[in-house]
Amino acid sequence: MNLETPLIIPVFIPHRGCPHQCIFCNQISITGMGAEVTGPEKINQQVKNFLGYKRKNRKNVQIAFYGGNFLGLSESTIGSLLDEAAGFVKRGAVNSIRFSTRPDTIDKARLDLITDFPVSTIELGVQSMNDRVLVDSNRGHSARDTEKAVRCLKERGYDIGLQMMVGLPGDDGSESLTTAYRIASLSPDFVRIYPTVVLAGSPLAVKYKNGDYRPLGLEKCVALVRDIYNIFKKNNIKVARMGLQDSEDLADSSVVLAGPYHPAFGHLVYSRIFFDMASAWLKEEKQAGHNVIIRVHPRNISRMRGMKNSNVRALKKAFEINRLHVLPDKNLPEDKLMIERAV
Ligand code: SF4
């Protein structure tokens, strides 16, 4: 497995290859694209545009088919899309191909179809490992399908990404935690965690308007995703994303009708994690009126401070700190902090 975070060249195939409509989904909103058909010409143009932005030292570049059910496309479409993408790999401009697909589209015949193409990574939309939640979300597959799919992908040596959602209908949070444990036991290479939001035009929007669905509040969702992140971290599984990809469409309240959407959702979760780490230390050392220095890796300064300094304010108040400084220390690992008293 190549551990460098790849430059992803996304090619969206919204809703294509989907056998039905999942309750929460409206890919047209998520991808900001109409239901236009993505063909070889479009891929060509998209890849060339992205390669123009490529940093010279970036080694790993992948073309990624997202937003639909890749292995649910017709054989000829799968072949023509992969052919076009593979051309870039052959010419050395791109390293490999990845796509996302449903667990129930993974079988021997479908995997045989792609075996001669340079596909390295396959992401599965797992969403939940609770069969009742999957039914309530109209997913049309079971937790066993996911387990079977992961086994098949492992046998063929693909890098595996598993996507899960929190706040689905019928999930009060405990199902999400169980899902995280069950996903962790499958040992994927990475995971993505998405909050459920109510998208206009989705079946969930109808349920929401009828009062039959209440989304998670932002605070509760951040706390839940923090707990899930900690489960994956303990199991050494990389969390590649928390929260939906920010876009102008999703910032529009006529697109996201309700739910815990935030353009920097992942940042909120990391801020919460750093807040917890600092609190745990300060709890032991509480002493009114003291001054404190917290050192973190430079990349984590804003995570430690929290949105608009919210962590700094909350820590000062909770632990009666007089002055609190957050300072960078590039020698610290990214998931650690150091706290010391200051005079
Ligand atoms: S969630 Fe995936 S499988 Fe379900 S409708 Fe949306 S794109 Fe299709």
Residue-wise pLDDT tens digits, 129-150: 999 999 999 999 999 999 999 9
Strands (E), 1-118: 7-12, 61-66, 96-101
Is the per-residue pLDDT at 47 higher than 90? no
If you take atom 8 of ligand 1, which residue's CA is the nearest one?
Answer: 18
Give the Cα separation of 20 and 26 in Å (integer).
Answer: 12
If you take atom 4 of ligand 1, which residue's CA is the nearest one?
Answer: 22
Higher pLDDT, 294 or 53: 294
If you take atom 7 of ligand 1, which residue's CA is the nearest one?
Answer: 68
Residue 213 CA from chain centroid, whole number: 23
- How sure is the predictor about 120, in pLDDT bands with cuts at 50, 70 and 90? very high
Query: What class, spelled out in words, does domain 7-262 have in CATH?
Result: alpha beta
* Ligand 1, CB within 6 Å, residue ranges: 15, 18, 21-22, 25, 27, 68-69, 102, 125
- How sure is the predictor about 6, in pLDDT bands with cuts at 50, 70 and 90? confident
Give the Cα separation of 16 and 36 in Å (integer).
Answer: 10
Range of weakest confidence among 55-64, 118-127, 198-207, 230-239: 55-64
Task: Render pLDDT for 158-198 as a digit per residue (tens, 0 to 9).
Answer: 999 999 999 999 999 999 999 999 999 999 999 999 999 99
- Whole-number Å distance, alpha carbon 67 to ligand 1 midpoint, is 7
Range of weakest confidence among 13-22, 205-214, 273-282: 13-22
Q: Which CATH architecture has domain 270-342?
A: 3-Layer(aba) Sandwich (3.40)
- Whole-number Å distance, alpha carbon 222 to ligand 1 midpoint, is 24
Is the per-residue pLDDT at 1 higher than 50? no
Q: Which residue intervals of 13-53 are DSSP H helices?
A: 27-31, 40-51
Higher pLDDT, 80 or 59: 80
What confidence score (pLDDT) does residue 53 get? 72
What confidence score (pLDDT) does residue 37 get? 54
What confidence score (pLDDT) does residue 32 get? 53
For the CA of 15, the nearest atom of ligand 1: 7
Give the Cα separation of 269 and 274 in Å (integer).
Answer: 9
For the CA of 100, the nearest atom of ligand 1: 2
What confidence score (pLDDT) does residue 28 get? 61
What confidence score (pLDDT) does residue 15 get? 80
Task: Render pLDDT for 97-113 as a digit per residue (tens, 0 to 9).
Answer: 999 999 999 999 999 99
- Whole-number Å distance, alpha carbon 334 to ligand 1 midpoint, is 34
If you take atom 3 of ligand 1, which residue's CA is the nearest one?
Answer: 18
If you take atom 6 of ligand 1, which residue's CA is the nearest one?
Answer: 25
Residue 246: Cβ within 10 Å count: 14
Is the per-residue pLDDT at 221 higher than 90? yes
Is the per-residue pLDDT at 73 higher than 80? yes
**pLDDT > 70: what percent of the chain?**
92
What confidence score (pLDDT) does residue 289 get? 65
Go through 133-154 and write b for each residue having 16 or more CB atoms within 10 A of its CB, e for each that does not: bbebbebebbbebbebbbebbe
- Whole-number Å distance, alpha carbon 278 to ligand 1 midpoint, is 40
Share the mean pLDDT of the chain. Answer: 91
> Is the separation of the CB atoms in 38 and 64 below 8 Å?
no
Q: Which of 172, 163, 265, 256 is nearest to 208 (CA)?
A: 256
Q: Which of 266, 324, 323 is nearest to 300 (CA)?
A: 266
For ligand 1, mutation pick of 27, 137, 141 (most atoms within 8 Å of CB): 27
- Whole-number Å distance, alpha carbon 282 to ligand 1 midpoint, is 45
**Domains 7-262 and 270-342 fall in the same CATH topology:** no
Domain limits, the chain: 7-262, 270-342
What confidence score (pLDDT) does residue 20 get? 77
